[in-house]
Amino acid sequence: MNARDSDLGYALLALLQQAPRSGYDLRKLFETNPIGHFSDSPGAIYPALGRLRRRGWIEPLSGGAPSGRRRQALRPTALGRRAFRAWLQLPVEHKDVAHGLDGLVLRFAFMSENLERRAIVRFLDSLREAVRAHLGNLERFRRVEAARLPPSGRLAFDSGVAGLRGYLRWAERALREIKR
């Protein structure tokens, strides 16, 4: 078994850490909230919960095999809480930035409940540096290649650059807000 679970797995783990919930509760959360990053389909959520259980990261709130299909609230185990904190503290890597910052923002979303301020500041600092470095790459590339791109290709490229600049501003704002 892989040491690391999917983003969906960690998102579920995080939500179970906020309060015990059933698989159905989790589905409804994804269904009603407009962020839409994760699917609310049972075919995604129940297999993910199965993985977490097999890893020993979550357990049913009240033990004993349930008969039939009754609702069963789940909560993280001590092992699960450790695994979750370890995930939050993973270093920021270049590929996390290159393929879209969604995974990093997801991790950040749960930090204030689970990490001390210093660790969050460290995270945002290294995120900022990684974004700056990638922006440098993109701008170098643009100087060399922009002339070769068709108009809409260039505009599409610029939307990526603008998005990254937006994340930079956001990280700075988040830093100010966290430090308060």
**CB under 5 to 8 A by kind: which of a second copy, DNA, none does 51 bind?**
DNA
The encoded tokens of residue 175 equal: 């830093």
CA atoms within a 13 Å half-sphere pointing along the CA-CB vector of 70: 7
Question: Which does residue 156 touch among a second copy, DNA, none (CB within 5 to 8 A, set by kind)?
Answer: a second copy
- The torsion angle over the Cα atoms of residues 24, 58, 84 and 87, rounded to 10 degrees, is -90
Identify what 106 binds: DNA, a second copy, none; CB under 5 to 8 Å per kind. Answer: a second copy
Spell out the residues 6+ positions from residue 143 whose beta carbon is closer than 8 angstroms to its own: none
- What is the size of the binding site for DNA (CB under 7 A)? 29
- The set of residues, in sequence order, having a beta carbon less than 8 Å from that of 65 and lying 6+ positions away, is none
> Quick check: 100 binds a second copy (CB under 8 A)?
yes
Binding residue for a second copy, selected from 6, 71, 141, 146, defined by CB under 8 A? 141
**How distant, in Å, are the alpha carbons of 7, 107, 145, 161, 177 from that of 104?**
10, 5, 29, 18, 18
Reading the block at residue 67, the tokens are 């008969």
Task: Give the contact letters, 20-59, x = binds to a second copy (CB under 8 A), - = no.
Answer: -------------xxxxx----------------------
Specify the DSSP element, H or E, that contains 59: strand 58-60
54 or 95: CB nearest a second copy: 95
Least separation, in Å, of the C-beta of 22 and DNA?
4
Choose among a second copy, DNA, none what residue 67 binds, the Cβ cut-off being 5 to 8 Å by kind: DNA
Cα angle value 17/49/56 (rounded, 5°) = 70
Site residues (CB under 7 A) for DNA? Answer: 1-2, 5-9, 22-25, 27, 39, 41-44, 46-51, 67-72
Site residues (CB under 8 A) for a second copy? Answer: 33-37, 95, 98-100, 102, 105-106, 108-113, 120, 134, 137-138, 141, 145, 150-153, 155-160, 162-163, 166-167, 169-170, 173-174, 177-178
